[in-house]
């Protein structure tokens, strides 16, 4: 016969006496004292409103019902944008990215057994450099917002200045992330105002003093407008401030990329390169720099190398893993890059090629301008910021945009997104997926609100 389980391994029910003993060991008088670090307004009052226990089968059905309440872009007509765009993703992208050797791979510290992953990252970096016109790209960051924040931190490391100028045209979500990243650093944020939807470069000229570390301008900006990057780059070139260009990489298929606009750093969102909108993630932070700032770059760099026998190979370069765990002394505490999403972007770009990439950008541009022209024909609607846009534009409506969005839910159409600038502004995004019929359906839907 086997021995009975040791007493120390037996289950002991949780009792007030045990709680008291645990609190005494921590030097606390009550459980509430343990929670003092959590603001009172954030604590749950009373019991949690949870249903009684149910089976796995019932949970699965409940989750299916909840998921069914989402308005999928595949099941309704969507013109949403503002940083996430419904582009066509070739079937080969998710198929290849889900292969087990990719889906299960970890960070490639051991180069001799990670050549496939390292090569993919190297190809990804190369493609991002080709698209942006920059010298060096890293192995990706979490998303566009964190990439912008990392660009601001890099500027501070490069020039030691203390002021970051953020264009008012930057996505509000990006600005909030930057504020969070910089909160406990010497860097302070100041907003560059906008004139007619574009960054006020005259204001910038007058405020580009010796304390400015970085100037951050997004193009296309949050209104969809193409900024005057070259002019901004020339202003920054006459100072010690780094020019951080933020933008949709697909737009560089037809507009001048950051590298041609004297940008020191490029930061952007790579979701448009082969990833679905997917309820907001996971996404892909793009980051590229001039070669002189290479040793200040966050994240990882993969380089081509030769082994002792002279054979070509790929390795992590310039940084060791320990660099990422040195806390405040580290260049960045971003450890794991968005490997699978970067892989998807690499496959997508390889499938399109340079000509296909430019063609996709052209389709977005042409279709969005067709949509804007058709909407402007409606007597009560206007395009307040003109035609200086890539694939997203603002419509001024005769009624509240919230009213239009509400009616859109009933009609199974998502006509756009609201903007805080004006309650009658509707931001509409068009991609290569939208057919003429889809755009005409949107125009027909908006016609019902004419006054």
Q: In the chain, what are the helix, strand and coil shares in percent, each to the nearest 5?
A: 45, 15, 40
What are the backbone dihedrals phi and psi of residue 142, each rounded to the nearest 5 degrees, phi first? -65, -50
One digit per residue, pLDDT tens: the chain, 451 residues? 445 444 555 666 778 889 899 999 999 999 889 999 899 889 888 888 887 888 999 999 999 999 888 878 777 899 999 999 999 999 999 999 999 888 887 778 788 888 999 999 999 999 999 999 999 999 889 999 999 999 999 999 999 999 999 999 999 999 999 999 999 999 999 999 999 999 999 999 999 999 999 999 999 999 999 999 999 999 999 999 999 999 999 999 999 999 999 999 999 999 999 999 988 889 999 999 999 999 888 888 899 999 889 999 999 888 655 555 666 667 776 656 688 999 999 999 999 999 999 999 999 999 999 999 999 999 999 999 999 999 999 999 999 999 999 999 999 999 999 999 999 999 999 999 999 999 999 999 999 999 8
**What was the pLDDT predicted at 5?**
47
Question: 20 - beta bridge partners?
Answer: none
CA-to-CA distance for 319 and 139, rounded, in angstroms?
12
Q: How far apart are the first and last CA of the chain?
A: 89
Q: For the stretch 132-152, what's the b/e string if a residue is b when 16 or more beta carbons lie within 10 angstroms of its beta carbon?
A: bbbebbbbbbbbbbbbbbbbb
The answer to whether residues 416 and 393 touch, using CB atoms and an 8 Å cutoff, is: no
The 10s digit of each residue's pLDDT in 159-193 is: 999 999 999 999 999 999 999 999 999 999 999 99
CA-to-CA distance for 88 and 432, rounded, in angstroms?
7
The answer to whether residues 171 and 145 touch, using CB atoms and an 8 Å cutoff, is: yes
By the 10 Å C-beta count (0-12 exposed, 13-18 middle, 19+ buried), 311 is classed as exposed
**What was the pLDDT predicted at 328?**
66
Q: How many residues does the chain have?
A: 451
CA-to-CA distance for 228 and 242, rounded, in angstroms?
16
Eight-class DSSP state of 197: T
**What was the pLDDT predicted at 112?**
85
The answer to whether residues 262 and 237 touch, using CB atoms and an 8 Å cutoff, is: yes
| Ordered structural domains, the chain, with CATH | 77-88+353-447 (3.90.1150.10), 92-348 (3.40.640.10)
pTM of the predicted model as reported, rounded to 2 decimal places: 0.87
**What was the pLDDT predicted at 1?**
45
What is the SS3 assignment for 270?
A: coil
Q: For the stretch 9-38, what's the b/e string if a residue is b when 16 or more beta carbons lie within 10 angstroms of its beta carbon?
A: eeeeeeeeeeeeeeeeeeeeeeeeeeeeee
The answer to whether residues 197 and 226 touch, using CB atoms and an 8 Å cutoff, is: no
What are the backbone dihedrals phi and psi of residue 189, each rounded to the nearest 5 degrees, phi first? -105, 140
Q: Are strands 392-396 and 425-429 parallel, antiparallel or unpaired?
A: antiparallel
The 10s digit of each residue's pLDDT in 258-282 is: 999 999 999 999 999 999 998 888 9
């Amino acid at each position: 016969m086997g021995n009975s389980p040791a007493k120390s391994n037996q289950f002991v029910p949780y009792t007030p006496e045990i709680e008291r003993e645990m609190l005494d060991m921590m030097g606390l008088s009550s459980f509430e004292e343990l929670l003092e670090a959590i603001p009172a307004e954030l604590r749950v009052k009373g019991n949690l409103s949870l249903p009684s226990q149910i089976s796995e089968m019932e949970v699965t059905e409940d989750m299916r019902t909840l998921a069914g309440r989402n308005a999928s872009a595949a099941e309704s007509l969507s013109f949403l944008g503002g940083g996430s765009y419904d582009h066509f993703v070739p079937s080969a992208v998710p198929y290849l990215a889900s292969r087990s050797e990719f889906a299960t791979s970890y960070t490639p510290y051991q180069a001799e057994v990670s050549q496939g992953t390292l090569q993919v990252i190297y190809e990804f970096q190369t493609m991002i450099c080709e698209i942006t016109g920059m010298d060096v790209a890293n192995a990706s960051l979490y998303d566009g917002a964190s990439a912008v924040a990392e660009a601001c931190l890099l500027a501070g490391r490069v020039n030691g200045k203390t002021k970051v100028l953020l264009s008012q045209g930057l996505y509000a979500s990006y600005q909030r992330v930057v504020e969070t990243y910089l909160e406990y650093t010497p860097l302070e944020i100041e907003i560059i105002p906008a004139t007619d939807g574009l960054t006020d470069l005259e204001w910038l000229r007058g405020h580009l003093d010796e304390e400015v570390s970085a100037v951050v301008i997004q193009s296309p900006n949050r209104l969809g407008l193409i900024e005057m990057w070259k002019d901004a780059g020339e202003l920054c070139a006459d100072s010690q401030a780094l020019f951080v260009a933020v933008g949709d990489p697909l737009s560089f298929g037809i507009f001048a990329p950051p590298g041609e606009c004297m940008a020191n750093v490029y930061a952007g969102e790579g979701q448009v390169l082969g990833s679905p909108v997917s309820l907001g993630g996971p996404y892909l932070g793009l980051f590229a720099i001039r070669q002189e700032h290479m040793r200040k770059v966050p994240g990882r760099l993969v380089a081509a190398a030769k082994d002792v026998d002279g054979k070509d190979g790929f390795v992590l370069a310039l940084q060791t893993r320990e660099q990422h765990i040195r806390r405040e002394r580290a260049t960045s505490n971003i450890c794991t890059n968005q490997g699978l999403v970067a892989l998807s972007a690499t496959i997508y770009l390889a499938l399109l090629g340079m000509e296909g990439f430019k063609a996709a950008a052209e389709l977005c541009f042409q279709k969005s301008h067709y949509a804007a022209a058709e909407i402007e024909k409606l007597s009560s609607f206007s395009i307040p910021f003109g035609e200086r846009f890539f694939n997203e534009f603002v419509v001024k409506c005769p009624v509240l945009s919230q009213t239009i969005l509400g009616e859109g839910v009933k009609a199974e159409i998502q006509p756009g997104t609201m903007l805080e600038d004006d309650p009658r502004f509707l931001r509409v995004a068009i991609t290569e997926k939208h057919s003429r019929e889809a755009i005409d359906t949107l125009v027909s839907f908006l016609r019902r609100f004419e006054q």
